[in-house]
Structure 1
Amino acid sequence: MAQSGLKKTKVRYEGTEYVEEPVTTEASTRFPTILLWLFYPILLYTLLAGILEPGSLFYYLTAFFAIILALLPPTILNLTDPERAALYRTGKFRRIIGPGWYFPLITFLDYETIKLVDIRMEQIIIEPQPVVTKDKIWFQIAPTIFLYVSNAEKAIRNVQDYKKAVVDYVVAALTSICGAQTSDYIVTHMDKISRDLEEGVAKLASVPGREWGVEVPRVEIKSIEFPDKVQDAMHDRVAAEQKKLAAHEQAEASKVVIDAVREAGAKLTDPAITYLYLEALDKMAQGRATKIIMPMEISKIAERITKTTGGLTPNQSNQLHGALETYEDKLKKLEGEVEEKEKELEELEKTQETTSSKEKPGEEDYAKKIEEIKKRIKGMEK
């Protein structure tokens, strides 16, 4: 009995010879003969008759019929659900039979021939085939074909071996396609190549009047095997392209930043620059430092402000005046601190004069401290 479900077959080529290796196991007995069931008891009876009555006419007649029964072709055909058979009588096609039991005529004058066909979906696994691409790259490619018989009569009568015909076409077409394309194209367009093969088989199998009665719903590229050296070279090339792409993207990003800075700088007017300058000074004045280094004299800052104030908005003008008042307060505070330090210095000098005539321990330490205070005051004045 044939198994149900997907049928699998491996295919290989030994030179130019097409060889099939069934993967799905099938039962070996397909044609039980009802007359053969009678052969063994008749043969046993003949042997007993030969022993009991050797040389009798009944003995020879029984032996003759036993030999005829043994030589007769099978007379009962058992076809399972996925099986069909083409019935040929005297060399002429009669009809498709199955599934079920078939009882042919038992006669020497009516010679019948049976050809079986399986209508299940079959997966044909083709061993890797060597191909050479347009860029002279050698590799092996392994396609897999899914097909089934849609018309048993056409599959038997119009093509000698439908499976071999489909496999031969796929292998030949695949070799031709790979030879016309580069290795990169083949690796990145396997789906398109599969569709081209499917369309090619469908077109070839549907020639009017010579239809194969076969449908090929899918052809898949199962694997592509490149030599090790070719694989290493391809990996190196891909890595180089990735580095090149990353460098290009980084350069583009830097260009965008530079363009943005250039565009922003081009839009800055003198009033805007002055405003930003004063805003930075305002932040400096809000700090805790007692010393502020001005990049230019106050008079020049005021002169520049006078020239550009006309272009400032009312809000910017208010902020400008506020910043100037803050700087003025800061300067007054610094002047007061300097005056206090000068007074402290005068008091220390007086103390030094009154104690200069007296010799006291630690006099040198007091002198050093006074010198340090003087240096600090002079540094603040600067």
Structure 2
Amino acid sequence: MSPLLITLALLAFLVLTVVGAGVQLVQQYQRGVVLRFGRLLPTVREPGLRIIVPFVDRMTKVPVQTVVMDVPSQGAITRDNVTLAVDAVVYFRVSDPAKAVVNVDNYLGAVSQVAQTSLRSVIGRVDLDTMLSDREQVNDELRAVIDTPTEAWGVSVDRVEIKDIALPEGMRRSMSRQAEAERDRRARVIAAEGEAQASARLADAAREMGETPGALQLRLLQTVADVASDKNSTLVMPFPIEMLRFFDNASGTTAEDADADRASTPPEVNGSGPAPAITTGPEADRR
């Protein structure tokens, strides 16, 4: 091989090496941050084929996709002194690639540590009832606490969700008994309200039947028909309501006549008058 060919081959290799070092491909979900001699260039490289100065510029590709990060279970004590173990998930993305490269060494690890400490801090400021019943408020507060320090790192926290709350065994039994007692109370209240409504309906029905004499008789005949429809050996003989009214009126008349007879009889005859006076002494001898 001649020296000319060797020289040309070396030149071609050097050209390819320089061109390869000066051409960078930035994906659609990435942004390129360029440092020239260690100094940040103000322009962030957009997706596409980008050219930099070989061996002078250094490009760092930062993904701008939404990152889903699991927060490990954190043990903390609530405001009402209940020990909980809570885990969560954080949704965030890089909003400023330059800050994510320059202001923090590892933004993923930094966000994870801030999320863990913030979760314990937020749990300590709320009580157990708020953690169980109003998770939306706790999530919003937790997102605001995490987003405050990460803003300087060029990271924007979209949302934070609490996944699971682990309660102590004794607290679970207490809550189970409380829920059972609450269900019993509601059942008793509903039963009492039903009894009150049924009593009111029965009173209205009795009032209506009292105002209509034939209604009670019709109800009696309907009851007899219902009993007779069953296959049984019981014989029901309805007693007429008019006979009951007759005896009732007759007993009332007899009582009034007896009162009138006692009022018309003299006291001496019926023995209800004043007792005769008993006289002693000389006046009794003259008699």
The TM-score bracket by the shorter chain reads: 0.5 to 0.7
Give the corresponding residue for 2:275.
Answer: none
Give the corresponding residue for 2:40.
Answer: 93
Counterpart-to-counterpart distance in 2, 1:285 and 1:168: 82
Counterpart-to-counterpart distance in 2, 1:284 and 1:226: 59
Correspondences of 1:4-153 after superposition (within 5 Å): 75=21, 78-81=24-27, 82-94=29-41, 95-97=43-45, 99=47, 100=49, 102-106=51-55, 114-153=59-98
Pick the aligned partner of 1:163 from 85, 98, 108: 108
Aligned-partner residue type, residue 145 of structure 1: V
The size of the alignment, in residue pairs, is: 224
Percent identical among aligned pairs is 19
Residues 237-267 of structure 1, C-alpha deviations (whole Å, 9 max, x = no match): 32232222222222222222223334544x4
Aligned-partner residue type, residue 275 of structure 1: G
Aligned-partner residue type, residue 142 of structure 2: L
Give the corresponding residue for 2:129.
Answer: 184
Give the corresponding residue for 2:246.
Answer: 300
Calculate the TM-score normalised by the size of structure 2.
0.60
Give the corresponding residue for 1:315.
Answer: none
Aligned-partner residue type, residue 143 of structure 2: E
**Could you tell me how far 1:144 is from its partner in structure 2?**
0.9
State whether residues 78 and 102 of structure 1, in contact with CA within 8 Å, keep that contact through their aligned partners in structure 2: yes
Residues 70-121 of structure 1, C-alpha deviations (whole Å, 9 max, x = no match): xxxx955744413334222333212434644554344xxx5x5554422222
Q: 1:251 to 1:285 in 2, by over 3 A?
A: closer
Greater relative contact order (Cα < 8 A, sep 6+): 2
Q: 1:220 to 1:293 in 2, by over 3 A?
A: closer
State whether residues 34 and 60 of structure 2, in contact with CA within 8 Å, keep that contact through their aligned partners in structure 1: yes
Calculate the TM-score normalised by the size of structure 1.
0.47
Structure 2, gaps ≥5 residues long = 1-9, 229-234, 251-287
State whether residues 133 and 180 of structure 1, in contact with CA within 8 Å, keep that contact through their aligned partners in structure 2: yes
Counterpart-to-counterpart distance in 1, 2:78 and 2:180: 22
Counterpart-to-counterpart distance in 2, 1:231 and 1:242: 17
**Could you tell me how far 1:132 is from its partner in structure 2?**
1.5
Q: 1:203 to 1:252 in 2, by over 3 A?
A: farther
Larger gyration radius, structure 1 or structure 2: 1
Structure 1, gaps ≥5 residues long = 1-37, 42-68, 305-382
Give the corresponding residue for 1:198.
Answer: 143
Counterpart-to-counterpart distance in 2, 1:193 and 1:183: 11
State whether residues 88 and 161 of structure 2, in contact with CA within 8 Å, keep that contact through their aligned partners in structure 1: yes
State whether residues 79 and 98 of structure 1, in contact with CA within 8 Å, keep that contact through their aligned partners in structure 2: no
Counterpart-to-counterpart distance in 1, 2:223 and 2:183: 48
Give the corresponding residue for 1:275.
Answer: 214
Q: 1:284 to 1:134 in 2, by over 3 A?
A: closer
